[in-house]
Chains A and B, each alone.
Chain A
Amino acid sequence: MTAPTVSFSDERLSNGLRLIVAEDHLAPVVGVCIWYAVGSKNEVPGKTGFAHLFEHVMFQGSRHVAKTEHMGLVQAAGGTLNGTTWLDRTNYFETMPSHQLELALWLEADRMATLLDALNQENLDNQRDVVKNEKRSSYDNRPYGQWFHKLQEHLFPPEHPYHHPTIGSMEDLDAASLEDVAAFFRTYYAPNNAVLAIAGDVEPAQARAWVERYFGEIAPNPKIPPLGDMSVPPTLGGESREVIEDRVPLPRHYFGFRAPCFGDPRLDALEVAAQILAGGKGSRLYRRLVREERIAQDVAFFALGFVGGASIAAGQATVRPGVDPDVVERAFEEELERMGREPVTDDELARARALIETYELEALQRVDERADRLAMLATLLDDPDLINRQLGRYLAVTAADIQAVAAEVFRPDNRVVLTYMPETGPATHGEHEEPAA
């Protein structure tokens, strides 16, 4: 089985907007995805949560689109849509029946060109409330909900842009003003800071003409402030631990490590390692901790790729009732360290490769995923063609590559261990919880 090649064009409009078009007529659908090179890493102290709050404001209308009309028009056209914010970027996407492509392009252009015309205090206050409720339901009112924010705090020093959570703090959300929002838009939401990818049932010449028409006259911002140096030492330099009491029935460990940046071939090897460690019932951690020793209720291990200094490799294990959490921690760490000491077997590697091949093919079936990956690779690595080389890179990973990256990453002095324990005292849940580190 060979992966189908994604053919695409890649060009820049005179205002700097990067346009990628991948034509494929299998289904009458088209994916539109626009990535802005701005994420929570661009936030400054006192204004955390801003990139994400701004993402919500992008759905509150622009000069020719009323509040909530963006959703209404896309859905009435039979499309689906959303936006997401993460450390390195913010993205917006629509998947449309192919005859509705022009509508999606117009909607994205109108808000890139004229968002501030529709911005007002009422809309900002409303979306601030919505985002605060998103924070409550996704993190504050959820058992173990703060684990990723805690890992960020431990893995990156306080002055580093990855130290704070993308959702921000309640205080900073409260403090966001209309002027802040407007300045953020003028700074980062410029065509020369964006990549627009279109994939699926599209006529490239027609799409190019529409993009030129709707986006071509939007002014660039020649003064997008560069981020400072985000580099960090490749390892933490010492183990970092925290015990958190929470309203949870079972203790759970979270493990975090600094890992090679997104795009580094060593991260490919780490992802194959993660598959062998915890990808399904045939994996090492599942087999030992869940199935054989029966000390864990569940296990997971995965890598989250970032471009600014280090990625995060993370794992978790929920402790079975009656089991000493230390026993679970030791077993988990032993399996990670064993990967650095001895090569994985040929059979383990063959199974991991076969599964990864299927996952990649499965993901690339959909137009929304193809558009998203092209925009991502162009935004973060300036290399959209990696979409066609990534599978080959995974399949080329050797046992020696895995051993080498495991030895680099899974070191005690590069490790964060968070242990959630059932709370023993009165509830300490507050909306304004301060970071512990």
Chain B
Amino acid sequence: MTLEEILAARPSPGQPRAYNFPSFERTVLPSGLQVVAVHVPGRPLVSANLIFRVGAADEPADRAGVTVLAARAMTEGTARYPGLELIEAAERLGSTLHADASWDAFAASVEVAASRLRAALELLDELVERPTFPAEEVSRLRDERLNDLLQMHAEPRRRVEQAFSQTIYTADSPYSRLAGGNESTVERLTRDELTAIHRAVLAPDRAAIVIGGDLTGLDVPRIAEEVLGSLALGASHAPAAPAAPAAGRAPTADSAVDRTTVRLYHRPGAVQSEVRIGHVGLSRRVPDFHAVQVMAAILGGLFNSRLQLNLREDKGYTYGVGAGFDMRRGAGPFGVRTAVQTASTVPAISEALNELHRMRDTLVTDAELAVARDYMVGVFPLRFETPGAVVGAIGGLFVNELPDDELARYRGLVEAVTAQDVQKAARDHIHPDRLAIVLVGDADVVGKDLEAAGFGDVEIVREELPGEVGEPGGNGLGE
């Protein structure tokens, strides 16, 4: 055969090897702490993730940012390991301790060789249970957060995200702010408030530890009980903390947008416009989750999504465009996200809106549906190659209170999604007539065209930028 003949014949796939999401076992300790062990053969590094199902969405508005700051301050020293001794002890095991909070969860994690699992869990327990929150370090971390917010204003892609959330959610929704809090609340956070939120978070009956890797020879439930068995039992007898969050119910996520509006944050001379288009979206527990995910993949998730083919491969307006639902315990945002060259701002928005309408108005083709479904089903084993990814996925089930067989059922449910399901998901969950278009870009160049385009009322925000005040330190923040 000639090379031409060889290449003219497309290969067909072989026989797929069976793949199942790793099965896992759950033990509930007397304290209420759930212990989930997942054996991933041949993986010498073990991932352990201790999760509390309470997060930034549960904190009071006037202390926004306290949960994230408390999580970050936990690694600043404990009763037994003051200062950096905790970090150093973990490093001697070849591991790094992480603690952080998201909207929905407060988590501490470690990755370590299986032979050192117990020693690492002892440090994790120390970190979670006995942080001292030294006042000096708390104030430093608070200042670092304030400085980071300052930096955010200068970064178009971060500024536009914050502005988008603030635009689409009503002010009483936690999602209208940043999970780490805004300037007005962060600057008032104190050590006492961190201590209080920490105590309030530490309830073993809404906690799970997920441990994954090659667990051969390890009795994980026994190790967990010996190391973490008394986790937080002291805390539940402590007086009710003033900041005690009301965990368990979905946060308020009301829309502040009842018709399409445009908000442009002026950046003189910007060579691109950062653009976000969308509205309040969905909770992870939405009943038609799989149809929504297939729909979002076709619209803006795949490399060859409709938005990519249009705005990038056809028009060349952008390096990349995506769209999707950020699903949380409450209704997270739905958004189209892109950065386009300044001159193409209005046509790029028009094309994106056309794609939102098209998703609702017509059925996707069989070919589009097949690619999206086949991708989501086929890529499933790739997503879970490492214990860290497996542990993360199981943690997500716990946080969202989804059934244990959710991942085992995933591929079958995706395969069953029809073109009609996709259209219904688009019609139910995408609302092109009442969304926000938020931009960070050059108003002097695009402002008039935006008004003329008639997308909706245009508001131009001319904010003073920290970088333009001249003297560093002239902003009143920090020391």
Contacts and interface: CB of A to CB of B under 8 A. Distances in A.
B479 A294 contact: yes
Contacts of B454: none
A139 to B, nearest CB: 10
A365 interface: yes
Given A319-B472, A351-B92, A365-B385, A99 B16 contact: yes
A404 interface: no
A247 B468 contact: yes
Given A100-B13, A291-B140, A294-B140, A361 B3 contact: no
A365 B43 contact: yes
B353 interface: no
A218 B3 contact: yes
B45 A365 contact: yes
A366 interface: yes
A111 to B, nearest CB: 10
Interface string A66-104: 011001100111111100000000000001111111110
A358 interface: yes
B121 to A, nearest CB: 16
Given A282-B88, A422-B467, A250 B472 contact: yes
Contacts of B147: 250, 297, 318, 320-321
Contact of A67 (B43, B112, B313, B473): B313
Contacts, number: 279
B341 interface: yes
Interface string B376-419: 01111110011010000000000000000000000000000000
Given A294-B479, A365-B45, A28 B140 contact: no
Contacts of A77: 13, 374, 378
Given A113-B7, A142-B155, A365-B43, A1 B271 contact: no
B287 interface: no
Contacts of A142: 155-157
B465 A247 contact: yes
Interface in A225-266: 246-251
For A95, A132, A133, A365, which residue has the most chain B Cβ atoms within 10 angstroms? A133
B41 A97 contact: no
Contacts of B144: 290, 297-298
Contacts of A400: none
Interface in B333-386: 339-341, 370-371, 374-375, 377-382, 385-386
Interface residues of A, number: 99
Interface stretch (B189-197, B238-246, B316-324, B424-432): B316-324
A130 B42 contact: no
A274 B6 CA distance: 50
A137 interface: yes
Contacts of A45: none
A5 interface: no
Interface in B252-285: 267-272, 274
B92 A350 contact: yes
Nearest to A251: B472
A64 B3 CA distance: 12
9 contacts: A77-B374, A77-B378, A96-B382, A103-B11, A137-B272, A138-B319, A318-B147, A322-B479, A358-B113
